[in-house]
Amino acid sequence: MSMINRTPFSLFSSHLDLAHQYWAALVKADDIVIDATCGNGLDTLALARFKPKRIYALDIQKSALDSAGELINKHLSAVDQEKIEWVLTSHVIFPSEILDNSVKLIVYNLGYLPKGDKSIVTKPETTLQSLENALKLITLGGCISLTCYPGHPEGAKEERDLLEYAAKLHPKEWSCCHHCWLNRNQSPSLLIIQKKM
């Protein structure tokens, strides 16, 4: 008798579902990961569930880090909470203690904080600067995951600039893949950049 499970299922329904599948495949205990746009902490929580040894959660808004802290407090044990380092900073400058080639995954969820101040938004120039710095921190086989929101003009420019930049990375050193919905209008997309082993 065939053991194949033929129950219909949805492989992914959003760019975040897809991102989480990459993260799950990558992150192991002992890894260092960075949430470069912590916001309300949903991505930090998703990363924490993969049990890395250290998570740096960065945001320029204290209110975002506070809200993320509350979320984490509700869902994680004290031991797991201690693995998170909250950093009130722009992701242009990563904490100096993080060494080159030491981080398994850096995630960006671009745009503005849901239910927050929409004027505080990631910017194409600073996101690109941050990405340039992030490339140095990534381990061999590690990834940078960027979710882009081209539905507003600055987000569209940010996505364009990132794609242009990623397309020029040397194919011997980097694998770059852009996932976007073909049958949804101006929907979010996912750019994954992996440092080749």
Query: Residue numbers of the site for ligand SAM (CB under 6 A)?
Result: 37-43, 58-61, 64, 90-91, 109, 111, 113, 120, 122, 126
In contact, 53 and 117? CB cutoff 8 Å: no
Closest CB 128 distance from ligand SAM, rounded Å: 11
Rounded to the nearest 10°, the torsion over CA 50, 56, 62, 64 is: -20
In the Cβ-directed half-sphere of 44, how many Cα atoms lie within 13 Å? 33
In contact, 139 and 178? CB cutoff 8 Å: no
In the 8-state DSSP scheme, what is residue 74?
Answer: H
Nearer to ligand SAM, 88 or 176 (CB): 88
| N-to-C CA span, the chain | 40
Nearer to ligand SAM, 122 or 194 (CB): 122
Radius of gyration of the chain (CA): 17
Beta bridge partner(s), residue 54: 32
Nearer to ligand SAM, 14 or 175 (CB): 14
Closest CB 23 distance from ligand SAM, rounded Å: 12
Nearer to ligand SAM, 3 or 193 (CB): 193
Closest CB 163 distance from ligand SAM, rounded Å: 19
Nearer to ligand SAM, 111 or 124 (CB): 111
Closest CB 64 distance from ligand SAM, rounded Å: 4
Q: Is 40 helix (H, G, I), strand (E, B) or coil?
A: coil
- Cβ-closest position to ligand SAM: 39
Q: Is 160 helix (H, G, I), strand (E, B) or coil?
A: helix
Nearer to ligand SAM, 60 or 128 (CB): 60
CA-to-CA distance for 138 and 194, rounded, in angstroms? 9
Closest CB 61 distance from ligand SAM, rounded Å: 4
Closest CB 139 distance from ligand SAM, rounded Å: 22
